[in-house]
Every structure is written in C-alpha cells, then in structure tokens.
Structure 1
Amino acid sequence: MNNYNILILSAGRRVELIQAFKKAAKKLNINSSIIAADMSGLAPALYFADKHKLIPAISDINYIDNLISLCNEENVKLVVPTIDTELLILAENKQRIESETNAKVMISDLKLIQMCRDKIKTSDDLSNNGFLVPYLYSDQDIEQNKVAFPCFIKPKSGSSSINAFKVNNNKELELYRKFIPDYMLQEYVGGDEYTIDVFLDFDSNPITIVPRLRLATRSGEISKGLIVKHRIIIDTIKNMMDEFKFIGHITVQLKIDKEIKFIEINPRFGGGAPMSIAAGADSCENLYRLLMGEQLSYNEVYEDDVYFLRYDSSIMVKKGEIIL
C-alpha cells in the first residue's frame, strides 16, 4: 500500500489541522504519517503528530537543504505551509523541492505569493481586475490632510492583525505612522466581515468555497464563526479564482456593507480552516484524493448555518519529554 505522508511546516498551535489530516486518512483507509515540523520543541502541535521534527528557522541559509533532506528521509508526499513568512521561500524553491523529492508543495505560483505578501500590490491587482477594495490613501493624501476618519492602518506585509489599527484622528495617525514600518493606510470599511476558505486542485480549479462570518476574533484569528452559503460571495469568489490561479487551500478576507470590498488574500491554511473542514468542505481529504490521482469536481456539500466556537486547551509534557 502506498504511503501519503504529510509534512506540516511551522506547526505551532495547528493541532486541529493535524487532527483533520489524521481523520481524513482514517476515513480513506490509507497509510499516512503526519509529520509536524517547527523550530521550537515547545510547539504544541508537535505532540499530536505521528512524527515530529525540529528544523532551522526560515531565515537559516540551510533551510531548504534541510527541508529537502527531511522530505526524502520521511518519504513526504505533500508539504503544507501554515504561516505567511515561509510562503516566499517555498514558492521560490518549489521547483527544486519537487524535483529533488517525491513531494508536492502546496504553494501557488511565485507571482501570486509576491502579490499576497504585499498588501498594497494585492489591493492594486484586485482593483485592476475589477474587484472592489478599500480606498488606499497616498502619501500626498496624508500631506494634504485628505484623509477621512476613521481609517485603517497596517503593515503592507503583516499578518495576524499585528500592528493593525483603526485610526480615529490625526493625532492617532501620526503616532501609528512613527512605529509601523512600511505601512499602508486605507479607508475604514464597516459591515460584516467574512473569511472565505477556498480549496483548489493543483490545476487551479475551485473545488469548495466556504464563506465564514467572523463573529469574534482574537489576535487576528477567528474565535467564533458562522458558516453561511452566501450566494453573492461564492459567485464573486468564483470569478476571482478565474483571474487568479491559486492552488490548494487559501483564505480570502472581505467586508460587506452595501457592497463587497476585499481586504486581503492569504494563500495557505488559515487558523479557522478547521471550521470549514468540519462542516464538510474537507480540504485534507481533498488533498489526499488529489495525491491518489483522483479528479475532483466543484461542490457545495457542506453544512450551512452552523456555528463554530473555538476554545483553548493545554497538554502536559514532562521535562524529559520535551523535544530537543
């Protein structure tokens, strides 16, 4: 029987994702070891995986060499990134990794990754393709006091809502501009906020599109959500995927007041992805099926109008059992 081993990078707190891959492998009755990798032996997800590996920091000169060796040692069939900072190096080295191992890398084309990692470029490219985005203030707008408050400031390559703030007046704006490097300043958009889990096959064909209404967040990640089969959102995302040929699991963030305005695209599993997986849009099962050579078709066979309420949990690890 073939092995379909999965390597999850920067595993951190991604316990739910590891469990989802395990559940999918059991359902399909296939051999699959889930290998969790992280630079820290204190990453909780390491202790839920079938195997765990400590790897160098992404900035380490030997990072890709180490990753290739790990893939070959563990007969990895799929490499799954989970954080923004590893996306560029994986996209830049995708061809090398796939040519020197038996693994596929769940990463989109380098140009798309570059677009997503620069939120100003994301805004420009979406706008140029006919998708509405919040107005982006220029330096000239700021100098000429043409900024309408409230507005929103954030780093152009940030993540997890770090250094992202609603700005209510000029005094706050000047303060935030001083300590947020390489920032972008946008129109503040009210209304409901959605994260959409999109899964595409390796030829960029959409397989599932799941809108999640963000009811509450913590540190930029959803903590309470509601799955909603919002037809306008789903159809708009289909149009977007026709223009931007992503692969694998990605997340799109948008707000709806009177119209849809797109905030950003994260070309990886988001922290709330297990919500959509549990509702029936199982990206983990879909990835296994693709690795087995199956052809998948678009479907909306997932539960609608279901709430997900996330909570923290802890594990006890004795001193001598910490991964070193």
Structure 2
Amino acid sequence: MAIKVLVFPCGSEIGLEIHAALKYSKAVELYGASSVSDHGAFAYLRYRQIDAHVQSPDFIEQLNELIQEWGIDMILPAHDSVVLKLAECRDTLLATAAVPSAAVAGVCRNKNSTYARLSEAGFDFIPADISGLSDTYPIFAKPAVGQGSQGAEVVHDYQRHQQLLDCGIEYVFSEYLPGAEYTVDCISDSAGRLLHFSPRERSRVKSGISVRTRPVRLAQSVERIADSIASTFCFKGAWFFQIKCDVQGRYKLLEIAPRIAGSMGLSRNLGINYPLLSVYAYAGLAFEVLPQDYPLEMDRALQSRFRTGLQYDCVYLDLDDTLIIKGSVNTLLMALLYQWVNQQVSVILITRHAQCPRATLAQYKISEHLFSQIIHIVDGSPKSDVIERRQGVLFIDDSYRERLDVSRQVGIPVFDLDAVEQLLDWRA
C-alpha cells in the first residue's frame, strides 16, 4: 500500500521539487497543502489551502484535520520554519513528521546556535566569529535565522557593521569568505548513518535560491565535514549544508538545513531521489543509493502553468503544421493526446493532407488509435461543416483562416499552437 505523504507548504520551490520527485512513485500517494494561494494548486492533484499559517495557534489543529480527512501517513516540510514547528509539535501530530528532534531543529534554525554546537564539539570548519566591531574589514553578515543567502551581505566598514548591530535582528558576524560557494546534498538512513553526499556548485543564485547548479568534485575535507555534521546531529533522510572557501582555500560552514533543498533535482537526475529516500528513512525502510556520474547542469527559470475553466470532452485537431510541424512530431501535442486518452476526451483528426493521413501517421510512428475519428477533407469544403455545434468542443489548427471560420460558424474555442500549453494538466 502506498504511503500517503502530505507536503507543506507545497507551492514553495522545495515543495515543487518534492512534487517532481514523488509524483511518479508507486510507493507514494502525494498530497499538498499551503496556507496561501500558491503554485501548489497548479502542480498537486490533491491540494488544499488552509487558513492557518505556521505561527497560527490552530496550525497543528488544521493540519490534523487534513491528516484525518486524507488518511495521511507522513508530512514532508517544505520550509525551514515548518521544520521547526513540526519538530516542536510532533507529539500532537496525527502523522509522522519527517523532521529531527525539536532540539536539533532549533539548533539548525539559528546559525549562531549551529556554530556554537559544532564549536563545542571541537570542529575546525566553523568560520571565525566576530564579536562587537571588527578591527579589520570586510566581514560577512547574515541573519541568524533565515534561509539561502537572503539578507546576507559583505560589510565593508564599521558604520554599516554598527547599523546591523543596532537593527534589532540577530545576525551572524564572521570572517569574510571570498572563495566559491557550494551546497552539499546528503542522505542518511533511518538510523542516522550518512550514506552519500553530493557537492554541487551554486553557479547562479536568485533570491537566495541556487537556480543554476552542477555537480563538482571537492577535496576530501568536505567528506570529513559531512561525516562530522552527520555524527553530531544524526539526521534521518535528506539534509544539506553549505560551505564557502576562506582566504586560504579551506572550506568553512555557512549553514545546515535538515530538509529537502529546492535544487536537489540535480542529484535526483543523477540517480538519488532525496525526497523519496527521506520517506523511506522516516518509514523505517532499508534502502541504498545508486549515484550516476556524468556531466550534468541544471538551470531553473519561471515556468508558466495554466488552470483553464474550459469544460470539454472533444477536440478537433489539424495534422499539417500542427501535429506534424517542420518535418517533426509536435511533442507537446503528443503529450496532450495521451492526457486526453487518460481523461477520456475524444480526439478527431481533421485534415486536408495531400496524402493518406493514416500512412503519414504511421510514417511518424503516431498510432491512429489515438483518434476516435479521422476526417479527411479532399473537396475544399470548410472544416466548420463537419464539426459538432455544441458546448464541450475545441478546435486546434495553425491556420488563422481555418480558426476564424470555425469560430464564426461553430462558435467554439479555437487555438493556435502557441496557446495549447494552457490545456496541459501538470497536476499529479
């Protein structure tokens, strides 16, 4: 039986990576929830927006209501604040929370606490702390509670340093680290043993998120850092840490997070599905990793997904320059064809093709069984003559003349190729 997993907040970059990682898994039945209207509604087939946010007094109560309604087995957090809240309230949750103990989550949520805990253990990969105003500049400043590189800055003089000291926000002030920055994705088993770590370069960062990243090989000292953190905190499942080089080229710790990272999709495509392995770890299941090793780079940008209010059960689809375009199969329309098969939407191929349409479909390895009917117009009559005049029918054709005629004569929605993306349902 599949493990019912609830992701919260599911529309964050982390939540969307979890969706991408778990949506095809036969071991998981995926659910999503958020406290604000977000992209999760466009990605998660089973989705709910709740009224409470993580600081609301009834947050856990509302989560428990969803857990009971959906029969949830496990919650995967998709934000650092949610990790801490679930850890603090795990005894009152009605499902397993994929989070560490409240003590460990609290230490990891505050970078000053993280540095203090690891310094007490005698580790030397902690950046040098700056207490009070510094004798030399630049230094590095970052909010003690935060995520990614948000709020981080290089402080070049004592005036700015004093402003940050007086601003009322707890900061980490440390030595300036001029070297390259890396994220190290890690996976531990259900007993907290580190199984694998995957360093990657933060090549391009936007709003604190690594939107371009690639795997890198780093010095053996990084493995020592990973082992030291793992032995100190005994994380289960996926977690990561970030490092940067000091002036002497030594790796120093920036932060640790006991959760999925939004850019773990890079490692997922190299054989390690961190969200799925986290589910296994917190379910107490045994697993191993099979990493792949070849050049790969990942870049992320805004992607449009649509939620159309159209209700339809029949699509009329053109062949030339529509399904077949520039001598190749239109792969977006092929995806839609199989979506419509799953949704039991009837697709009728309507074409003025110069040859036999079935022979051309066979040439391009497109099954004619994807269509409920093939209408071959050879007498020059308008396509509007053979299209059903009723609601629930759509027409897709690259020709403006054909679309204009169908729109005027039949009165149904018509689509050029640049508009069919709105019909693709990404939810899973």
| TM-score between both structures, scaled by the size of structure 1 | 0.86
Deviation string, structure 1 residues 151-198 (Cα, Å, up to 9, x no partner): 111211122333221111123223333446122211111212111111
- Give the whole-Å Cα distance in 1 for the aligned partners of 2:140 and 2:207: 16
- What stretches of structure 2 of length at least 5 have no aligned partner? 312-428
- Give the whole-Å Cα distance in 2 for the aligned partners of 1:131 and 1:174: 28
Q: Which amino acid is 2:82 matched to?
A: E
Deviation string, structure 1 residues 103-151 (Cα, Å, up to 9, x no partner): 3211011111111111111111122221411111112xx1xxx332111
Q: Which amino acid is 1:213 matched to?
A: E
Partner residue of 2:40 out of 36, 45, 49: 45
Q: Tell me what 1:181 maps to.
A: 169
Residues 120 and 184, structure 1, Cα contact 8 Å, conserved in 2: yes
Q: Within 5 Å, which residues of 2 pair with 1:83-98?
A: 83-97=79-93
Q: Which amino acid is 2:183 matched to?
A: T
- TM-superposed CA distance for 1:58, in Å, is 0.9
- Give the whole-Å Cα distance in 2 for the aligned partners of 1:318 and 1:50: 15
Q: Which amino acid is 1:40 matched to?
A: V
Partner residue of 1:268 out of 256, 259, 281: 259
Q: Tell me what 2:119 maps to.
A: 127
Residues 116 and 266, structure 1, Cα contact 8 Å, conserved in 2: yes
Partner residue of 1:148 out of 133, 136, 148: 136
Deviation string, structure 1 residues 30-73 (Cα, Å, up to 9, x no partner): 4x3311110112x1122211211112111111111111221121
Q: Which amino acid is 1:132 matched to?
A: F
Partner residue of 1:72 out of 45, 68, 71: 68
- Give the whole-Å Cα distance in 2 for the aligned partners of 1:288 and 1:88: 18
Deviation string, structure 1 residues 219-271 (Cα, Å, up to 9, x no partner): 11101111124351234312321222112211101113421211110111122
What secondary structure is seen at the aligned counterpart in 1 of 2:91? helix
Residues 8 and 75, structure 2, Cα contact 8 Å, conserved in 1: yes
- Give the whole-Å Cα distance in 2 for the aligned partners of 1:293 and 1:185: 39
Residues 98 and 278, structure 2, Cα contact 8 Å, conserved in 1: no
Q: Tell me what 2:297 maps to.
A: 307
Residues 5 and 75, structure 1, Cα contact 8 Å, conserved in 2: yes
Q: Within 5 Å, which residues of 2 pair with 1:98-247?
A: 101=94, 103-129=95-121, 130-139=123-132, 142=133, 146-179=134-167, 181-230=169-218, 232=220, 233-247=222-236
- Give the whole-Å Cα distance in 2 for the aligned partners of 1:112 and 1:172: 32
Q: Which amino acid is 1:89 matched to?
A: K
- TM-superposed CA distance for 1:289, in Å, is 4.2
Percent identity, please.
22
Q: Assess, with a 3 A threshold, how the Cα gap between structure 1 residues 73 and 273 changes in structure 2: closer, same or farther.
A: same
What secondary structure is seen at the aligned counterpart in 1 of 2:298? strand
Residues 6 and 32, structure 2, Cα contact 8 Å, conserved in 1: yes
Q: Tell me what 2:271 maps to.
A: 280
Q: Which amino acid is 2:63 matched to?
A: L
- TM-superposed CA distance for 1:288, in Å, is 4.7
Q: Assess, with a 3 A threshold, how the Cα gap between structure 1 residues 254 and 7 changes in structure 2: closer, same or farther.
A: same
Larger radius of gyration: 2
- TM-superposed CA distance for 1:290, in Å, is 4.4
Greater shift in the superposed pair: 210-219 or 160-169: 160-169
Matched, 1:248 2:247: no
Q: Which amino acid is 1:18 matched to?
A: H
Q: Which amino acid is 2:18 matched to?
A: L
What secondary structure is seen at the aligned counterpart in 1 of 2:23? helix
Which one scores higher on RCO, CA 8 angstroms, separation ≥ 6? 1
- Give the whole-Å Cα distance in 2 for the aligned partners of 1:243 and 1:15: 30
- TM-superposed CA distance for 1:317, in Å, is 3.3
What secondary structure is seen at the aligned counterpart in 1 of 2:92? helix
- Give the whole-Å Cα distance in 1 for the aligned partners of 2:260 and 2:161: 32
| TM-score between both structures, scaled by the size of structure 2 | 0.66
Q: Tell me what 1:20 maps to.
A: 21
What secondary structure is seen at the aligned counterpart in 2 of 1:211? strand
Cα RMSD of the aligned pairs, angstroms, is 2.3
Residues 237 and 282, structure 2, Cα contact 8 Å, conserved in 1: no
- What stretches of structure 1 of length at least 5 have no aligned partner? none
